[in-house]
Amino acid sequence: TQLLEQSPQFLSIQEGENLTVYCNSSSVFSSLQWYRQEPGEGPVLLVTVVTGGEVKKLKRLTFQFGDARKDSSLHITAAQPGDTGLYLCAGEGGRGSNYKLTFGKGTLLTVNP
């Protein structure tokens, strides 16, 4: 069974601060996705990382996939209240199960004005 551990589980920071969320596994994933979920809504895909060592930037968000494709991080620079939400990482299974996403438990981020 593939598992994804996310840390921290909760994070409360002030506007303007930087933060990093981690997603770790003992399993190798063919790709890893990051989602953001707001209360009462479904998750929305932010980014997919595929290649070991890959770094993707989305405005103030930087996503990195570990060299061994077992871990990933999300770094937010100068957080804003609009960044508040539940951040979920999800690993995509390998050949034969490329449809199957394994989700971490999420990091609930609160950015205070």
Partner 1 sequence: GAGVSQSPSNKVTEKGKDVELRCDPISGHTALYWYRQRLGQGLEFLIYFQGNSAPDKSGLPSDRFSAERTGESVSTLTIQRTQQEDSAVYLCASSFISNQPQHFGDGTRLSIL
Residues at the interface with partner 1 (CB under 8 A): 4, 6, 33, 40-45, 48, 88, 90, 92, 97-106
Closest approach, Cβ 77 to partner 1, in A, equals 25
Query: Closest separation between CB of residue 30 and partner 1, Å?
Result: 9
Q: Are 48 and 33 in contact (CB under 8 A)?
A: yes
Among residues 14 and 100, whose Cβ is nearest to partner 1?
100
- Cα distance between residue 25 and residue 72, in whole Å: 9
77/97 with CB nearer partner 1: 97
State the nearest-atom distance from the C-beta of 86 to partner 1, in Å.
9
C-beta of 6 vs 18, nearer to partner 1:
6
Strands (E) across the chain are located at 5-7, 10-14, 19-24, 31-37, 44-49, 55-58, 61-65, 71-76, 85-92, 101-103, 107-112
